[in-house]
Amino acid sequence: MAAVSVRLGSIGPHWTAACRYAVTNLNLLFRRRGIGVALALHGAGPVISVVTDPGILGTLVHGRTSAETDGGGRLLRAEVRLPVRLTINTPNGIREAGIGMAEVVAAHEFVHALGHEPHNSHLMAQTMHKAMGDRPADDKLQAGAAAMPPLQLSDQSVEILKGIWG
């Protein structure tokens, strides 16, 4: 099984927690679906560096990933950029979105770093809509019929990742 290191820069406690959840839950999903890669915080292997980018508005549901790969599509190095704050509009005004919503954004970008380029569905959907919970911990991102968390990969995404990582 291939190892990939996730290195968290000075991204603040909210994103740090979300990225830790994303690493843990992606690894569970990868194992369950037979994808031969494991992410580790400060581990060995190619590095995904995670930073925040004030140019990405928190009202949007996305980050930016740039990755360098070898001839077979395997990661050599990547940088994941996340918004400084991820917000949601509520009847009481704008507030920071819950950790689960941030986990989905981080996981989406990590999967891009691992070589999954197209946007298709589930975790790798092009468009996700914010679904406000009764409290931040209940916030979700909706991609078609898939509400996350928990993280979900489409069969097509699993095949793409297996094609790269075995």
For the residues 38-50, what does the mean pLDDT come to?
95
Nearest Cα neighbor of 44 from 75, 5, 1 is 5
Per-residue model confidence (pLDDT) at position 2: 96
Say what percent of the chain tops pLDDT 90. Answer: 84
Q: What are phi and psi of 32, to 5 degrees?
A: -65, -35
Query: What domains can you pick out in the chain, each with its CATH number?
Result: 2-165 (3.40.390.10)
Residue 73 has pLDDT above 90, yes or no: no
Instruction: Please say whether the beta carbons of 80 and 106 come within 8 A.
Output: yes
Instruction: Please say whether the beta carbons of 89 and 104 come within 8 A.
Output: no
Side-chain-side CA neighbours of 49 within 13 Å: the count stands at 11
Q: What's the chain's Rg over C-alpha atoms? A: 15
pLDDT in tens, 91-109: 888 999 999 999 999 999 9
Nearest Cα neighbor of 22 from 3, 36, 41, 35 is 41
155-158 contact pairs (CB < 8 A, 24+): 156/120, 156/121, 157/111, 157/116, 157/120, 157/121, 157/122, 157/123, 157/124, 158/33, 158/34, 158/35
Length, in residues, of the chain: 166
Per-residue model confidence (pLDDT) at position 42: 86
CB under 8 Å to 84, separation ≥6 — which residues? 12, 52, 53, 54, 56, 58
Taking the model in full, what pTM does it have?
0.95
Per-residue model confidence (pLDDT) at position 62: 87
